[in-house]
Every structure is written in C-alpha cells, then in structure tokens.
Amino acid sequence: MAGLPAPDLRVSPPAPQPWRRHIVLQLRDRDQNQRTGFQDLIRIYSRLLEKTSLTKGILGRAGRCPSGPQSSLQDQNLQLRKTTGELAYQVLELQQQIKIKEAAVQDQQDRLVQEEVRRAGALAARQALQERVDQVQGRNRVLKADYDALLDLQTGAEARLREEKLRGGGLVEDMVHLKKEAAARMNTRNERRSRFREATLQKELRRAARSSPARSSPARSSAPISPSSAPSSRSSSPKNQDEELAGRGHTRLFRSSSATSPRLFTSIRGLFGRRRGHSVCSLEETLSFPVGVCVSARVPARALQVLEAHQQGINAVRFSCSSDLLATGGTDRVIKVWELRAGQLTHRATLDGSREGVSCVEFDPPGQRILAGSFDKSALLWRLGDSTPKVTLTGHSRKVTAARFTGSAHQVVTGSADRTVRLWDLQRNACVQQLLVSSYVSDLVCSDSVFISGHFDCRIRVWDSRLSGCVQELPAPGKVTSLDLSSDHRRLLSCCRDDSLQLVDLRGRSQDRVCFRADGFKCGSDSNKAVISPDGCYLAAGSADASVYIWNVSNGNLETRLPDGHSSPVVAVSWSLSGENVVSVDKSRWAVLWSDL
C-alpha cells in the first residue's frame, strides 16, 4: 500500500463553473486532511509487512538450518509477535482518533451550515430594516415639509395678529378720543341750553314780579311770594316747574325757598340726573357700592357655623367690601362664593376655570369681580355672575402666589415663585411692567401706585410703579408668608415662619416695629395668612395646632385663642370689613364662621 500513488482527483471540468470548482477544492482539502491522518498508519503497516516477510524468510531458512540456534529464533519470533501486537494496538488507537476527528469535522460542518442559514436570515432582516428606514425617512421628510409650511403659516398669522392688535388698539384709542370729543360737545351743548333756560326763567320771573303788583291787591302785594305763587299756565307743565325752581335756586330771589324743599330736590335731580351725551365711563364705575364701615371690631368668641366648603384643602379666604359675600379658593381648582345672612353662610356660586389649585382670592371694591392666583402660572378674573373667567393673565413661569387690585380699576399686580412682580392692564389683558426680585414672592398689598411685597429672603420690599423699581427694603424676622395693610394704609402686618407677627408703622421715618408672639402659636405653612381687624385694634392668624390666635395691638398681649372648630392646621383668616365676623379655613377643606354672639 505504500507503493500505491495517491489518486489524482484533479479533473478538469469541461467548462469553468464556480460551483464545480468549489466542490473540487473541497475534495482536495478532504483528501489532503485524510491522507495526512493515515500516513503514519500506512508507514507503520508497511514496516510491519516488511518485518513479517523478513520473519517468514528467517523461519524458512531456520527450517533448513540445524536445531542449534532454534531457541534464538523462537525468542526473535516472540519479540516480533510482541511488536506486532503493540503496532496493532497503536493502529486501533489511531483509528479511534480518526473517528473522533471525523466527528469533530462533521460537527463543524453542521455548525457552518447553521451559521450560513443564520447569516442569510440576518441579511434578509437587515434588508427589511433598511427598507423600513427608507420609508420612515421618506415620511419624516414629508412631515418636515408640512411642519415648515405650518410654521410659516403660524409666523404669518402671528404677524397678522400683532398687526390687528395694534390696529385694534389704535381703533380703541380713536374711539375713546371720539367719544370724549362727543361727550365734551354734548356737555357744552347741554350747558348752553341750561344757561339759556336759566336766562329765560330769570326774564319771565322779572316780568312776573313787575306785573304781579298791578294785578294784586295792596294787602296781598305786601305779603312775601311763596313758591306756589307762579302763574297757573306755567305750573301746569312739569318741565316749566323744574325750570322755574332751578331759576329760583340760582338767583335766590325768594327767601321762602328752603334748601330742604322736595321740589328743589326734584329740580336738582332733573338738572343732574340726566345722562349727558355719550359718556366713556361705564355704569359699573359710576354706580355707588355699599361698603361696610367698622366703628369697633368685635373679638369673636365662639363658632357660629362649621361647614365643609371644598372637596380638598382650602388655601385662601376673603370677605367682600360689603361684608355680605365671602370667597374661598382651594386645591380642588375652584372658587366658591358664599353669602352671609343671619349669621349663616350659604353657597351662592362656584367659579371654575383654573387648571390647578387656587393660591389667593380677592374682591374688587364694588364686589362685582373676583381675582385669583393659581398654581397653573396664571391669574384669573371672574365676574360675579359668570362661572367661567373673563380674563386670564399668563406670563409667569411658576405658580402665582399673590394677586391684588391696585388703586386703579383697570390694573392688577401679581407676584410669583419665579421671583417677578408684574403689573397688568385689564383693558389690554397685557403686562405693562415687570419687576425682577431676588427672592420668592409670597404675598402683596397695594396702595395706589405703591405696592409692597413679602419674600422668603426675610425682606419686605416697597415698590413704586412710577419709578419702576424698589424704593425701600424692610427687614423681617423670618420668611414672610403673608402681608396685610390696615384700612388707613398706615400700618403693615407681616406673618413670618419664625412663628411671629410683625406690625410696622409706615408713617414715621424710623418705622417702628412691634413683634407679636404667643405660647402655642406656630406658623404652619409657607402661605399662612394673617389679617388686621378693620379698626386696626386686633390681629388674627391661624396656627398649626388648629386654633385661631387674636392679639390686642394696644398692649401687645394675646386677646383670645379659639381652639374649637378645626382639626387640622389653619392656613388663612379673613375679618369682615364691618368687624362683626371672622372666617378661618384649614387644610382639610373646612371653614369656620366666628362671632361674638
């Protein structure tokens, strides 16, 4: 077998085909691998055959030789047999190794086939994903084009909106100017007519005075002329009566005309009760509104009513100027309006529109509008008869913590956690002034063009809208949670997180400060609200121990403590302007009406 040449498998294909060439290369590799593994075996087997042939020859010659060396031949034979057995054992071991290597090669080939299948699947998946990527990119390009087109449309619409707003503002100004001119012309015309009527009345009265002695008797002519002595032809007309009385009041010809005469009041109402021309003032501004006047505030002694005012905690409470309406705002995103009659609060209206909790509420002086700050970064304005807000003021970047009406009927000021104070014009629904502050704004109070803000940096700042800046800073003993201004605008109350109230006298240059504390009083939150009584004699604040504390301003001592009514920390207190009632609210949605009765 050693002399046999290896079979030549390199057959030239009739035509060069890739798959045939691949098969031929695989057969060559297989032949080379298998031949390399069997070369040692073939070489050993060839040597074994040679030794066997040699042994046979030696044995043949030994048969022909004498028996002398027979023993040595047997030893050689045994040695050869032993060698043959060892070689046979090696052959078996080599065959076993060949089988193991063939199994390993077969396993590798199976794994190679599996990997080829997985590779083909991965290529197909990659192709599908690439197609999806192309589709998504195509859709993105279409969407990008649509977005650019919409952005252009929005930019154009905003530009047109700004132009229309400017145009509308100009039209409003022109309209107001025209109305003012028309009102001025109508007032001038009415004054001319009034002067003409007065002159005519004076002439007629002089003529009547000259002609009356000739028609009357001497006894009657000496008597004073009363207001009822006018000719019957003129007294039959109400218009002429008013004109005659107006002329008498103007010239004071007759002493019998009393200032308390009903006819004189009728004539005055006739002259000034009519509406002149087209006035630019609204009816709401010209009408008088009731205001509760407090002569002496009453210190509450017991709870008249305890009611569940909201579904969640209450953050703010405020009486109207007439003391008959109460507004409460809570974390349930609504404001509830209550009517106070006969010592009981009854629900009147619910105002919604805030997207988050309400932080503060306030009535305007006529009591027809309610302003509120919200945690949704806006301030909202309702009319009392509407449940939805009329105006929404947006611009703050964090929650609005304070909102107040200024001295003007068309301006409000707001403070926010974004460290800004903003002045708003309600006629344009726009911010007209923004003031940057170095600390969190917790509360605000206003007096004409001046407003005061409290902050978490233990400072109270006084602002003047005419100067567009801070004009004074006042220190506070702790973080300021609320501010309140006395009815005469002379004293400022601040509630601080160091569990104290500070009353500042704004009249003097030194600005005297008085601190009020009490055993057990604890400021329960960063928005705890304290108030001054309408007569300025008492201070009231809620505590974390579910009580209401009231101090006497004159001696600085605790006047009373109201422990009953609440079961959770009291966060806000409001004192009616009439001084008769106090309402406190807590974090567990309860409101308590207090009185001295």
Summarised one tens digit per residue, pLDDT across range 482-534 is: 999 998 888 999 999 999 999 998 876 556 889 999 999 999 899 999 999 99
What would the mean pLDDT of 160-166 be, rounded to a whole number? 88
Tell me if 563 sits within 8 A of 549, measured CB to CB. no
Tell me if 484 sits within 8 A of 402, measured CB to CB. no
Q: What are phi and psi of 446, to 5 degrees?
A: -130, 150
Read off the pLDDT band of 251 (50, 70, 90): very low
516 burial class (0-12, 13-18, 19+ CB within 10 angstroms)?
Answer: buried
Q: What is the pLDDT of residues 45-67, one digit of tens each?
A: 787 887 777 777 666 655 555 55
CB-based contacts of 469: which residues, under 8 Å, 6+ apart? 435, 463
Tell me if 374 sits within 8 A of 400, measured CB to CB. yes
More confident residue, 256 or 398: 398
Upper half-sphere CA count for residue 449 (Cβ side, 13 Å): 8
Q: Kindly state the DSSP code that residue 323 receives in the 8-state scheme.
A: S
Alpha-carbon torsion 201, 203, 206, 211, what sign?
Answer: negative
Q: Kindly state the DSSP code that residue 385 receives in the 8-state scheme.
A: T
C-alpha–C-alpha distance, residues 472 and 546, integer Å: 36
pLDDT of residue 133: 95
pLDDT of residue 509: 59
Q: What is the pLDDT of residues 330-362, one digit of tens each?
A: 999 999 999 999 889 999 999 999 999 999 999
C-alpha–C-alpha distance, residues 446 and 404, integer Å: 7
pLDDT of residue 503: 94
Read off the pLDDT band of 413 (50, 70, 90): very high
CB-based contacts of 594: which residues, under 8 Å, 6+ apart? 300, 301, 302, 303, 304, 548, 562, 565, 581, 582, 583, 584
Task: Please identify which residue in the block is written with the tokens 């030549």.
Answer: 8
- Is residue 536 in a domain? yes
Kind and range of the H or E run holding 492:
strand 491-496
For the chain, give the number of residues. Answer: 597
25, pLDDT greater than 90: no
**For helices 18-64 and 70-215, what crossing angle results, to 10°?**
160
Q: How many CB atoms neighbour CB 469 within 10 A?
A: 11
Report the phi/psi class of residue 153: left, alpha or beta, with left for phi > 0 and alpha for psi in -120 to 50: alpha
- Is residue 576 in a domain? yes
Residue 345 sits at the vertex; the CA angle it makes with 342 and 346, to the nearest 5 degrees, is 105
C-alpha–C-alpha distance, residues 144 and 400, integer Å: 37
CATH number at residue 350: 2.130.10.10
SS3 247: helix
SS3 131: helix
More confident residue, 235 or 322: 322
pLDDT of residue 94: 87
**Considering all CA atoms of the chain, what is the largest pairwise distance in Å, rounded to the nearest integer?**
216
Helices (H), 256-389: 262-272, 283-286
C-alpha–C-alpha distance, residues 296 and 318, integer Å: 20
pLDDT of residue 517: 94
Q: How many CB atoms neighbour CB 77 within 10 A?
A: 14
- Is residue 53 in a domain? no
Q: Report the predicted TM-score, pTM, of the whole model to 2 decimal places.
A: 0.54
More confident residue, 415 or 178: 415
Range(s) of the domain holding residue 492: 302-595
Tell me if 501 sits within 8 A of 533, measured CB to CB. no
C-alpha–C-alpha distance, residues 248 and 235, integer Å: 14
Please report, to the nearest 10 degrees, the dihedral formed by the alpha carbons of residues 261, 264, 265, 267 taken in order: 160
Least confident of 44-53, 305-314, 357-366: 44-53
Least confident of 1-15, 310-324, 429-443: 1-15
C-alpha–C-alpha distance, residues 554 and 541, integer Å: 17
C-alpha–C-alpha distance, residues 204 and 223, integer Å: 20
Kind and range of the H or E run holding 102:
helix 70-215
C-alpha–C-alpha distance, residues 122 and 584, integer Å: 73
Q: What is the pLDDT of residues 372-410, one digit of tens each?
A: 999 999 999 999 988 899 999 999 999 999 999 987 778
Task: Please identify which residue in the block is written with the tokens 């605790």.
Answer: 558
Read off the pLDDT band of 19 (50, 70, 90): confident
Token couple for 138: 């195509």
C-alpha–C-alpha distance, residues 275 and 420, integer Å: 43
Read off the pLDDT band of 38 (50, 70, 90): confident
Q: Which of 253-257, 261-265, 295-299, 378-382 has the highest mean pLDDT?
A: 378-382
The rounded mean pLDDT for the chain is 80
Q: Into how many domains does the chain fold?
A: 1
- Is residue 332 in a domain? yes
Kind and range of the H or E run holding 336:
strand 335-341
pLDDT of residue 360: 95
- Is residue 76 in a domain? no
- Is residue 187 in a domain? no
C-alpha–C-alpha distance, residues 332 and 287, integer Å: 35
What would the mean pLDDT of 320-330 be, rounded to a whole number? 93
- Is residue 414 in a domain? yes
Read off the pLDDT band of 213 (50, 70, 90): low
Tell me if 586 sits within 8 A of 568, measured CB to CB. yes
SS percent in the chain: helix, strand, coil, step 5: 40, 25, 35
- Is residue 530 in a domain? yes
C-alpha–C-alpha distance, residues 449 and 469, integer Å: 12
Upper half-sphere CA count for residue 318 (Cβ side, 13 Å): 24
What would the mean pLDDT of 542-571 be, rounded to a whole number? 93
Give whole-number Cα distances, 371 to 182, 346, 379, 405, 426, in Å. Answer: 34, 21, 7, 8, 11
Upper half-sphere CA count for residue 414 (Cβ side, 13 Å): 33
